Chains A and B, each alone.
Chain A
Amino acid sequence: MKRINRLQFLKMLGCGSAASLAGAAGLWPASWAGVKEPPSELPPELIAEEIESDWLLGHEKWVPSFCLQCPTGCGIKVRVIGGRAVKIEGNPYYPVNLGRLCPKGQAGLQVLYDPDRIKGPLKRVGERGLNQWESISWEQALNEVARELKKLRDKGMPHTLAIMSGRSRGQMVTLIERFLKAYGSPNDLRRDSVATESIKIGNYLTQGHRNYFAYDWDNTNYVLSFGLGFLEAGRPAMRLLRAYGHLHQGRAGRRAKIVQVDPRFSITSAKADEWVPINPGTDGALALGLAYVIIRRGLYGEKFVREQCFGFDEWADDKGQHHQGFQQMVLQEYSPSFVSQITGVPEETINRLAEEFAGHRPAVAIAGRGVSMRSNAIFTQMAINSLNALVGSIGEVGGIWEQPEPPLEELAPVVKDPVAEEGLGHSRIDAAASHFYPLSENVFHRLADRLLSGEPYSLQALFLYYTNPLYSSAEPDKIRRALEKIPFMVSFSPFMDESTAYSDIILPDHTYLERWQDDVPDPAVTFPVFGLRQPVIEPLYNTMNSGDVFLKLAKALGSPMAEALPWPTFVDLIKERVKGLWKAQQNSMGTNGSFEELWNKLLSEGGWWAPVPWEIEQESKPKDGKRFYFYSTELYKRLKAAAEYEQLSQKDLGLSFAEAQERVFVRLGIVARGDKVYMPHYVPLQLIGNKDEFPFHLIVYKTMTQAEGRGANVPNLQEIFGLQVRKQWDSWVEMNPRTAELLGVVDGDEVWVESPVGRLKGRVVLFPGVSPEMVHIPHGLGHQDYGHWAKGRGINPNWLLQDQCDLLGGTAAWFSTRVKMYKA
């Protein structure tokens, strides 16, 4: 060894010297649960030989990533010591959560170290549902799947492959889209329609933006929340939690007022400044009643409404036909006394709320699942949006914004071969975007029926990515019978949940703390954000990133899939998209250097965002230059096209346009007629079940810990499941004490809850905050599998829900079930 000079010595001083010591790793395995401390960067001669085998080097570091415990996707930092993740904290820089993290995020370690995880690829042995598996190698697993896919393609039936994915975002969505396009199947089934998709449609019809809005909470003065669980499962969760604190105490001398309109005295209702109890499903009427007062008393923002909105005043179209304006309609039909009757909200309250809302700008009206899970969701959302238009909160300080997308690099279009072209020519199995559901992108509701009937075709293969339909659907048994008809099912889940237990081959993904992924979070802030997820530790088991699985399958299947997905690994795909961020040059990275620099900064900070106004002007100006449509020209267009299609497709009936339109309206459950159809209006709720036989209205609500239905296998979350009602590790049936008296039950008794489609037994919790006509059961427990902490615990209220949908958008309307109850 030569004598070391200063430069060399200083280089050595830098931590992370290059020598990777696989040998050292073999000498010092950690003694926790089979976790190996990864190779150390320390040179071997520093580590004396007499060390016994279970001493640790204890290398510690913080690795940024982003959370997957709910759709918010908060930035996190994970503390790793000796190769084991020991603590998750919020990433102080990530704009969505700015360093804070809710209990779900904090409990993420228990997802990673869940002892019931699937440890490698599995193949079903014996009948479906017997839950017997043999371990197979990845090679064998991928070969079998590729073989099945090849068979379908060779038979000219690529459209019989469907991939059902949950609320995933980022490049997994891109991969699946491209894979199916190249393969030749239109069946990219996403489960968005079972949640708050109708809010997106409402936003689209009024403002041309088919997404949620971001809110400039820093500057808002008044929040009128129609059932949005600010402090529970509302999304984006952490942003709302911080907003709550900020609005109340974050600004010296200024305190916003938060009003919660909700049939139930939830945690949010309790902590809001005012709770307005309302009859369920009548939020649209209340919004229009408030609009009445605002318009009548001249409290609306004239300039904005007249210049930037369409349809407020009466107007004539190019054929000279006269159309009613929003103003006229509201003043004619939604007087406070009328609205008070429908909603149960006293007139004085309606008047006062309207004055307050219009008088404390910036003010925002916002809605959540309480509005969206109903048969009248879309029109209710439009009504609520109109309040924001009236007070001029759209695209203004303290108001609602469209969050721009980050400028990811465009990918080369997918080149299709004749087999793919033919396959793509078939209609989707769920009839989305068809003339049946002109506004929908996914119609999960129809899927079960179509699969059971086998029309227009049967599915031969189904991939389940990030979704558990046998648990999270209404009428789970119907779904199970539908899935029985599919001969080949593959699941990518890292956990043995109900749907995975029902599949044929399991290709387990890494958990979110072990994998590469990217994200464009749901709208939360007013500027574009891009998150990067990286493995915080080496994968614990023989699992594989599902992105890599798709890439390998594409290669195995050959052309054209292999060309459509040419990337060697999933990280390469992410890197290619990130090139767009690098080119944009205007960002939080502060570096305009090489791509490598940007990538390394992404790795060390966990994301990219561009907090300067990012071409917002361009983004938020819809076509025709109007910002808000009281009269939705878009809806008019779609319904007109549907009527025209109806005329054409039923040519032999010789329908006139008016007749065809009538048929369309009836089929889509539109009860209004005339101009009102295209404007926000109140549609009475459609409940299922005879009121006499089923006297109670069932709402399935979400607590914070089970916001995604995924927390049942996480002990920490089970411990705090029902804090408000002091219940843990179990579900409950929440009812008003008067109801309990009627039924002859007391707190803690068991009671049967029966709907037209199922019945469940649960424990009574008395809670005066529930209306005497309603009953509430929390969502999240009642699993039949999913690990020993989740299995057989609590009840899954989905078994009671009838699979109804908002026909206009094809979105799930599961808050429509009536039930009866009796003592067990």
Chain B
Amino acid sequence: MRNSGIIRLIVGVVVLVLVGVVGGAYAFRPRPHYVEQPVKFNHLLHHQELDMECSFCHLYVQDYALAGMPKLETCMFCHDEANSPGNPQLVSLIKKANQEGENFAGVKWVRMYKNPGHVIFSHRVHLRQRIECATCHGPTGDSKKPVSADYLITMGQCISCHEARQVSNDCLTCHK
């Protein structure tokens, strides 16, 4: 063929583009945003394998919209400097706490779930309906990774679940 060279060129370019697109799509695929926390906490281990309840660390869920993050004392219930396998941040925090004593400023958790001022949210009401933590907060409890920003809760999720369960979607239910 007279233009076999051009055809090969075109095919080659198309293949390259396809490879590029597929490769790029793979490389830039949507991935969970993991927010770096001061301690690499392994939820899967503690929640599933060690069978700890969510409220063991997130203590205030019955009475507050803010369920709370654990104090270092909670971790030190089991861990100490020697007994924190594979978690150098925890070890150094414990060391720091032991050194500083009263002046220890606590673990600087990065707060992921925030309750804005125009929303009245009651954990208690939802717990009473035996809704699992994972229903709203995602499979955090089954993950080794830190909490992902993708599982942050928006109003749309509240509304759709309320609709599905035929619970009030009146504005005043949450915005008093």
Query: Which A residues lie at the B interface, using CB under 8 A?
Result: 1-4, 9, 12-13, 15, 30-32, 40, 42-52, 54-61, 81-82, 84, 86
A58 cross-chain contacts in B, Cβ below 8 A: 64-66, 115, 120-122
Whether a CB of chain A sits under 8 angstroms from the CB of B34 is no
- Cβ B64 vs Cβ A44 within 8 A: no
- Cβ B65 vs Cβ A9 within 8 A: no
- Cβ B73 vs Cβ A12 within 8 A: yes
CB distance from A90 to the nearest CB of B (A): 18
- Cβ A55 vs Cβ B114 within 8 A: yes
CB distance from A152 to the nearest CB of B (A): 48
Which of B64, B73, B107 has a CB less than 8 Å from the CB of A42? B64
Residue in A closest to B97 when the chains form the complex, CB atoms: A1
CB distance from A198 to the nearest CB of B (A): 44
B60 cross-chain contacts in A, Cβ below 8 A: 15, 42
Residue in B closest to A29 when the chains form the complex, CB atoms: B117
Within B55-79, which residues are at the interface with A (CB < 8 Å)?
59-60, 62-66, 68-74, 76-77
User: Secondary structure of the A side of the interface?
Assistant: loop
Task: Kindly state the separation between the CA atoms of A332 and B70 in the bound complex, as whole angstroms.
Answer: 87
Whether a CB of chain A sits under 8 angstroms from the CB of B124 is yes
Which of B65, B71, B72 has a CB less than 8 Å from the CB of A56? B65
CB distance from B161 to the nearest CB of A (A): 19
Which of A32, A48, A61 has a CB less than 8 Å from the CB of B69? A48
- Cβ B105 vs Cβ A42 within 8 A: no
- Cβ A3 vs Cβ B68 within 8 A: no
- Cβ A56 vs Cβ B115 within 8 A: yes
- Cβ A55 vs Cβ B68 within 8 A: no
Within B64-115, which residues are at the interface with A (CB < 8 Å)?
64-66, 68-74, 76-77, 80, 97-98, 100-102, 104-111, 114-115
Task: Kindly state the separation between the CA atoms of A1 and B100 in the bound complex, as whole angstroms.
Answer: 7
Query: Which B residues lie at the A interface, using CB under 8 A?
Result: 59-60, 62-66, 68-74, 76-77, 80, 97-98, 100-102, 104-111, 114-122, 124, 176
- Cβ A55 vs Cβ B117 within 8 A: yes
- Cβ A32 vs Cβ B117 within 8 A: yes
A-B contact pairs, 21 of them (CB 8 A): A1-B101, A3-B80, A4-B77, A13-B59, A15-B62, A42-B60, A42-B66, A45-B107, A46-B66, A46-B109, A47-B111, A51-B114, A55-B115, A56-B115, A56-B117, A57-B64, A58-B66, A58-B115, A58-B120, A60-B64, A60-B122
CB distance from B103 to the nearest CB of A (A): 9
State whether A44 and B106 are in contact (beta carbons under 8 Å apart), knowing that A57-B66, A58-B64, A59-B64 are contacts in the complex: yes
Task: Kindly state the separation between the CA atoms of A790 and B108 in the bound complex, as whole angstroms.
Answer: 52
State whether A57 and B117 are in contact (beta carbons under 8 Å apart), knowing that A43-B71, A45-B71, A49-B108 are contacts in the complex: no
- Cβ A42 vs Cβ B68 within 8 A: yes
A42 cross-chain contacts in B, Cβ below 8 A: 60, 64, 66, 68
A9 cross-chain contacts in B, Cβ below 8 A: 73-74, 77
- Cβ A60 vs Cβ B124 within 8 A: yes
Report, nearest first, the 10 A-B pairs whose CB atoms are least far apart. Answer: A45-B106, A58-B65, A31-B117, A48-B111, A54-B117, A4-B73, A55-B114, A57-B66, A86-B176, A56-B115
Residue in B closest to A30 when the chains form the complex, CB atoms: B117
Task: Kindly state the separation between the CA atoms of A58 and B118 in the bound complex, as whole angstroms.
Answer: 11
- Cβ A81 vs Cβ B122 within 8 A: yes
Task: Kindly state the separation between the CA atoms of A61 and B123 in the bound complex, as whole angstroms.
Answer: 12
- Cβ B117 vs Cβ A48 within 8 A: no
B119 cross-chain contacts in A, Cβ below 8 A: 56
Which of A2, A50, A51, A59 has a CB less than 8 Å from the CB of B63? A59
B110 cross-chain contacts in A, Cβ below 8 A: 48, 50
State whether A3 and B76 are in contact (beta carbons under 8 Å apart), knowing that A42-B68, A46-B69, A59-B63 are contacts in the complex: yes
Residue in B closest to A32 when the chains form the complex, CB atoms: B117
B70 cross-chain contacts in A, Cβ below 8 A: 46
- Cβ A47 vs Cβ B76 within 8 A: no
Task: Kindly state the separation between the CA atoms of A148 and B63 in the bound complex, as whole angstroms.
Answer: 49
